[in-house]
Amino acid sequence: MAILKALPSRRNPQAIEDYLLQDKKIQDSVIYGFNVRADKFGKQFDQVQQLYGKTQGRRYYHFILAFSPEETKNLSPSEVNTLGIEGAEEFFGKKGFQFVIVTHTDTEHLHDHIVVNAVNQDTGKKLHTSRHDLRQMKEYINEICQRRGLQPIPQRSEGIANGEYWAAARGQDVWKQELRDVISAVQQEAKNYDDFKTMLENEWGIVITRDHGRGMTYIHPNGKKVRGQKLGLNYDKPSLFKAFDSEQAASYRIHSQIDDESRYKKKSKLRRIEKEIYRGWSL
């Protein structure tokens, strides 16, 4: 089964390049650029946008085309990359919009990241897509999949919720993996344990209860509960306190503070982008 997701895309395009081309993500990967250097697409997208003075609002369109672990066994990264190219050329390349296809192999399911410059390099006009356009794109990709004997993208009504495919593809309980993803991201942002709890509840609707001694319980927005230690060692109270204590101690190392902040900011930015990917909606 294939799935197509559309993602938020108002950041500087350099940010998504930094995320997609991380060393740990591009081993054995295939990348392709249409009218752009695939390994420099963020900078070149930005240059086009600066040229036409269009750096506000949507700066790029980001889609993910993914295949199930079962289908991945019979597909090569090059084949998956080609599928993405065929769809992107039909809907964006023919209109003169630059795009890049980055095929990741870092999970059990092969998947394409399709990133399209929202500004046409020849005319300076912005790309606008309606729900009708996205439905047409989905139908076209379904035709490509069917020609190759692959299962089409399911209808929205078939119940594929945000994050469900990604966790299921890794053989994990969906809601538990959603907790892990959010906890990891919030931990990078929070200053201390109290700040961590507040951010989880106010920004994500995740409540921590039975918070006494060495243990605590997370309550997912769907009402399901799980003890921190059941999610893994990195999600229980002792590990969280240790992480926050280490971070606070590091803040006193004045001579290394600038480098630490630089690394932290970059890591936080990548975490935020990854968080956005999980919030993307299925087409």
CA dihedral 165, 169, 170, 176 (to 10 degrees): 30
> pLDDT-based confidence at 127, cuts 50/70/90?
very high
Question: How is residue 126 annotated by DSSP?
Answer: B
Domain that holds residue 118: 2-155
Average pLDDT score over the chain: 80
Total domain count, the chain: 2
Q: How distant, in Å, are the alpha carbons of 70, 93, 237, 263 from that of 267?
A: 32, 32, 22, 6
Give the pLDDT of residue 99: 98
Residues 43, 123: one domain? Answer: yes
pLDDT tens by residue, 245-268 = 765 544 444 344 445 555 566 566
Q: Give the list of residues 6+ apart from residue 79 with CB closer than 8 angstroms, or none.
A: none
- Give the pLDDT confidence score for residue 251 in this predicted structure: 44
Residue-wise pLDDT for 170-210, tens only, equals: 555 668 877 887 887 778 777 888 889 998 888 788 999 98
The percentage of residues in the chain with a pLDDT greater than 90, rounded to a whole number, is: 31
102, pLDDT greater than 50: yes
Q: Average pLDDT, stretch 3-16? A: 78
3-state secondary structure of 102: strand
Domain co-membership, 134 together with 225: no
pLDDT the model gives residue 262: 58
Structural tokens at position 195: 């700040």
**H-helix or E-strand spanning residue 281:** strand 281-282
Give the span between the Cα atoms of 139 and 124, in whole angstroms: 28
Average pLDDT over residues 77-106: 95
When pLDDT is averaged across residues 149-156 and rounded to a whole number, the result is 69
Same-domain status, 140 and 51 = yes
**Are 46 and 174 in the same domain?**
no
The set of residues, in sequence order, having a beta carbon less than 8 Å from that of 134 and lying 6+ positions away, is 6, 283
Whether the per-residue pLDDT at 122 is higher than 90: the answer is: yes
Q: Quick one: which of 103, 104, 91, 12 has its CA closest to 49?
A: 12
Residue range 135-143: average pLDDT? 89
CATH number at residue 134: 3.30.930.30
